Amino acid sequence: MGAGVVQKTGGGGRRRRGRGRSRPMSEINVTPFVDVMLVLLIIFMVAAPLMTVGVPVELPKTAANSLPGEQEEPLTVTLTAQGVVMIQKSEVLRDELVAKLRAIAAERDSTRVYLRADGAVPYADVMQVMGALNRGGFNDIGLVTDTGGPSLDGRDG
């Protein structure tokens, strides 16, 4: 990775001509290593936001803190502005929602689910979906919002 050869000089500061002995350089050149790490950092910073669930909804803004991460891929239920319910990226009829949630809950270790609801959806519809999530076996429901909304303490943030 950057090993080179250093010439060994003779005694007394004089240069020897002819056959000189050479020994390998024992220092590591760190500059290429740092360059590669910075490139990888930039790649992951660009790619990480693209790994989220791709159902477009206009989330309401709040001043709440984000939840800590999990080991298992989080289950996401989305309620669009048109009233369509989606589990991850697949559309589900409201009549079949509880049955599908029970089947999913039987296969998962965690009872955590993230509910993404469009800001234009009536509160009653959101509560109906939350009730279905509870009846389906998911008791730990996290509501997904965008940051930067009003904090209700006189400061917008």
Tokens of 118: 């469009």
Domain that includes residue 123, residue range: 75-144
Q: What pLDDT does residue 89 have?
A: 87
Tens of pLDDT, residues 89-142? 889 998 899 999 999 888 888 888 899 998 888 989 999 999 999 999 888 888
Rounded Cα gap, residues 15 and 79, in angstroms: 80
In-domain check, residue 43: no
Phi, psi dihedrals of residue 17, rounded to the nearest 5°: -100, 155
In-domain check, residue 125: yes
3-state secondary structure labels for all residues of the chain? CCCCEEECCCHHHCCCCCCCCEEECCCCCCHHHHHHHHHHHHHHHHHHHHHCCCCCCCCCEECCCCCCCCCCCCEEEEECCCCCEEECCEEECHHHHHHHHHHHHHHCCCCEEEEEECCCCCHHHHHHHHHHHHHCCCCEEEEECEECCECCCCCEC
Ranges 5-14, 57-66, 71-80: which has the least confidence:
5-14
Banded pLDDT at 33 (limits 50, 70, 90): confident
In-domain check, residue 151: no
Q: What pLDDT does residue 5 have?
A: 55
Q: Residue 105 sits in a domain of what CATH number?
A: 3.30.420.270
Q: What pLDDT does residue 52 have?
A: 63
Q: What pLDDT does residue 18 have?
A: 53
Q: What pLDDT does residue 109 have?
A: 82
In-domain check, residue 99: yes
Number of structural domains (the chain) is 1
